[in-house]
Amino acid sequence: MSKLSEKIAAFGERHPTLYKSIALSENVLKKTVFKCQGCGQCVLSHNAFTCCMRCPKQIRNGPCGGTRPDGHCEVYPERLCIWWLIHKRAAKLGRVKKLSKFHIPADRRLENTSAWLNMFAGRILPFELGKKSRDVNLTKKDPPSIK
Amino acid sequence: MVSKSNFELLLNQGSFVVCGEMSPPQGADKAPILKKCAYFKDYVDAVNLTDNQTAIVRMSSMMSSVFAMEGGVEPIMQMTCRDRNRLAMQSDLLGAAAAGIKNILCLTGDYMTFGNHPDAKGCFDLDSIQLIHTASELNKGRFLSGDEVKSPPGLFIGGAANPFAEPFEMRIIRLGKKIAAGAQFIQTQPVFDLLRFEKWMAAVRDNGYDQQAHILAGVMPVRSVKALINMRDNVPGSMIPDECIKRMDVVKESKEDSIEVGVAMAVEIIKRLREIPGVKGVHLMPVMWESITPRIVELCDLLPRPVPASGDDAL
């Protein structure tokens, strides 16, 4: 991200009340709309706006081998396989190509932090509105010092 | 440089490879492993040692692999992401390589609730593709953290693929991701439905993945119709055509006939798999029936097993 966005993130992280209100509004939106699991490193825009952390195995790189023929999860047969849903929605939105992007292991320190500010700070992949994946080289950065 | 495994050399020289699979014992005695090794030695080129498969606790795949080497069999150590975080997995990979294990198969792992400790906490710190990436980084001399590995392990890295689970398109995408992450060989779930497998292989060839990694098709010999039906109903992501079940169902009264039909079916599948372009070998999965391996390999005219052309590649 740009220098300006990094400054915005740093400002937010310096002010606990501001940080908490940003994190709260993000939570309210994402938890109600996307059933967000709070990993703090959002990949919604890569995965057809469906949260992959809802998978029992929390796989960030596509479905395990146990998806049932009707698209249900092997662990919880009453639920849909989240990656089956992601693929279906991606096909509808023309975003299947984005699913071939490799996602690096999650940074567990970012759990329950604000993904928006993490994105501004350049810790995580940027939001992608386009249908093509961009190559972004992330440099390793420390997690925000407040929670 | 670390020398390459027999298994890798055979694949690289274009031989049609046969792998076996055995599950470690549920106890602290290595004798069962050595006993099973006798069924595989000289009949297959490498044997998978499962890592707490179906989430049932067994002897560790790493130590079982070491015992398999004692038994004269080249091991493919399976590693699942269910039980370990990224620290443990990297240290296990280094330890395995130091013990002489050269082939690994990276899996995400069956969920805990399928096994005998359904109350356990799953780790799933990495997924299988990230594990392949991790192993490939170790080979290049870097830990996940970016720190330097003093002597890189030089592992031959494998991944799994399931051509039979939905959604089909996603299976190809995921295979591509595994290969891009560093998988050098791919073992598939057991093939019963050849039409579906051929469709999958055609898609694999269209993407050129068969040129970038060695594809080994899974084959599971079964000895009773009950096992087949159990698999169809209780193993998600498996596809078993009705004709297979019918064939086994006809002979279900007689144990001997069931075995004969089971063997004949496995042999037929292997013979048809050999004709599919891009299939570099088969991966036999005789679950709890390891003793049948020599007969199947013999009936498929796959004996004697080839020996890698000497030396040159090993340097």
For residue A1, the model assigns a pLDDT of 65
Is residue B176 within 8 angstroms of chain A, CB to CB? yes
Give chain B's residues under pLDDT 50. 313-315
Chain B residues with beta carbon closer than 8 angstroms to that of A104: 130, 133
For residue A136, the model assigns a pLDDT of 83
Q: What would the pLDDT profile of A79-102 be if each residue is shown by its tens digit? A: 999 999 999 999 999 999 999 999
- Give the gap in angstroms from C-alpha B10 to the nearest C-alpha of chain A: 28
- Give the gap in angstroms from C-alpha A15 to the nearest C-alpha of chain B: 30
Is residue B111 within 8 angstroms of chain A, CB to CB? yes
Instruction: Parse chain B into domains and list their residue ranges.
Output: 6-314
For residue B283, the model assigns a pLDDT of 97
Q: Looking at the partner chain, which of B133, B173, B237 has a beta carbon nearest the beta carbon of A74?
A: B237
Instruction: Parse chain A into domains and list their residue ranges.
Output: 1-41+106-125, 56-105
- Give the gap in angstroms from C-alpha A76 to the nearest C-alpha of chain B: 10
Q: What average pLDDT does chain B have? A: 94
CB contact under 8 A, B166 and A61: no
Find the distance separating the first CA and the last CA of chain B, reported in whole Å: 7
Per cent of chain B over pLDDT 90 is 93
Q: What average pLDDT does chain A have? A: 92
Give the residue from chain A lying closest to B173, CA to CA. Answer: A100
As a whole number of angstroms, the distance between CA B94 and CA B87 comes to 11
Q: Give the best residue of A58, A85, A88, A98 to mutate against chain B (max B CB count within 10 A).
A: A58
For residue B1, the model assigns a pLDDT of 57
Give whole-number Cα distances, B133 to B9, B87, B158, in Å.
22, 14, 11
Expressed in percent and rounded to 5, the helix, strand and coil fractions of chain A are: 40, 0, 60
Give the residue from chain B lying closest to A56, CA to CA. Answer: B111
Cβ-count burial A114-141 (b if 16+ within 10 Å, e if not)? bbbbbbbbbbbbeebeeeebeeeeeeee
A104: pLDDT strictly greater than 80: yes
Q: What would the pLDDT profile of A42-60 be if each residue is shown by its tens digit? A: 999 999 999 999 999 999 9
Q: What would the pLDDT profile of A26-35 be if each residue is shown by its tens digit? A: 999 999 999 9
- Give the gap in angstroms from C-alpha A91 to the nearest C-alpha of chain B: 10
B204, B278 contact by CB (below 8 A): yes
B278, B210 contact by CB (below 8 A): yes
Give me the interface pTM, i.e. the ipTM.
Answer: 0.94
- Give the gap in angstroms from C-alpha A85 to the nearest C-alpha of chain B: 9
Give the residue from chain B lying closest to A62, CA to CA. Answer: B174
Q: What CATH number should be reported for the domain whose range is B6-314?
A: 3.20.20.220
CB contact under 8 A, A105 and B169: no
A38, A28 contact by CB (below 8 A): no
Tokens 């009773």 identify what position?
Answer: B224
Contacts of B18 (CB under 8 A, 6+ apart): B43, B44, B45, B281, B282, B284, B297, B302, B305
